[in-house]
């Protein structure tokens, strides 16, 4: 009986010490948690923040990348006609680009990205690496210029960004350190599934990674309108027309009242 008790105590201590204690492999293991795991888009949605926290080996840096669904994007090509008027000169399609591309890195890794851009791009998280993954319907000679304009558009919408200094660390005594990354989610978020990759980087190489999924869905009035548009197109069109007429009448009454006041 005493032998069984001693064995049970030993197993309990073994479990607490080796299983309950955070482990960090020499190669640079990583653990991460996503908060929240789902985002609701309501009537007054104006963007939000997503936090990624976890543990990594002490001598590693962390990169967090949020990628949206892959899609084709059509852009208008503009140019001057006869050197005078700016007009649409056609369109170009960029294939298989993520709807959102947010990358979060620490200040130290950001400094490396500035001083050694080639080394940073080799990791595969920068915009130059993304450019290599996509195809366009334009001639090869125009590809770089078109991607730059596409990137400028996405940055202005808040959908593409590389945030330096958005990861903070807390030293631990277990041979590792805790981290927290903050992802700024813009208002122009669309429903769907987003992939959040958390990667450990050591000596210029990826040593470990883990992936989580962020679910985004519409709720309330936006969900009702979306459902109406897809499932009851005729009714949606009728309501849209009525709303436009009512809005026009209200604007007319308002402006007429302002003129009468003068």
pLDDT for 122-164, tens place per residue?
888 889 888 888 888 878 888 888 899 999 999 999 999 999 9
Residue 233: its pLDDT value, please? 65
DSSP structural state of residue 24: -
Q: Are strands 160-164 and 101-105 parallel, antiparallel or unpaired?
A: parallel
Mean predicted lDDT score pLDDT of the chain: 80
51 CA to centre of own chain: 12
Domain ranges of the chain: 30-217
* Cis ω before 134 (30° cut-off from 0): no
State pTM to two decimals: 0.74
> For the chain, where are the alpha helices, taking DSSP H only?
2-14, 107-115, 117-122, 127-133, 140-156, 220-231, 233-261
Q: Is 30-217 a domain of CATH 2.60.40.2550?
A: yes
């Amino acid at each position: 009986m005493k032998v069984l008790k001693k064995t049970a105590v030993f197993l309990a201590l073994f479990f607490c010490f080796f299983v309950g204690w955070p482990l960090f492999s020499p190669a640079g293991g990583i653990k991460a948690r996503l908060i929240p795991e789902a985002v609701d888009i309501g009537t007054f949605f104006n963007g939000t923040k997503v936090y990624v926290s976890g543990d990594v080996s002490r001598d590693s840096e962390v990169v967090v990348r949020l990628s949206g669904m892959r899609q084709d994007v059509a852009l208008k090509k503009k140019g001057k006609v006869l050197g005078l008027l700016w007009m649409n000169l056609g369109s170009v399609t960029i294939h298989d680009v993520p709807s959102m591309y947010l990358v979060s890195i620490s200040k130290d890794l950001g400094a490396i990205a500035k001083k050694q851009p080639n080394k940073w791009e080799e990791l595969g998280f920068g915009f130059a690496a993304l450019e290599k993954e996509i195809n366009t319907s334009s001639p090869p000679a125009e590809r770089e210029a078109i991607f730059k304009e596409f990137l400028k558009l996405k940055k202005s919408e808040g959908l593409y960004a590389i945030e330096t200094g958005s990861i903070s660390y807390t030293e631990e005594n277990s041979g590792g350190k805790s981290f927290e990354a903050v992802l700024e989610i813009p208002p122009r978020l669309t429903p769907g599934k987003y992939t959040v990759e958390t990667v450990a980087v050591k000596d210029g190489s990826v040593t470990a990674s883990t992936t989580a999924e962020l679910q985004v869905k519409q709720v309330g009035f936006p969900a009702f309108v979306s459902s109406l548009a897809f499932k009851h197109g005729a009714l949606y069109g009728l309501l849209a027309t009525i709303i436009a007429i009512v809005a026009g009448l209200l604007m007319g009454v308002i402006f007429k009242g302002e003129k009468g006041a003068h």
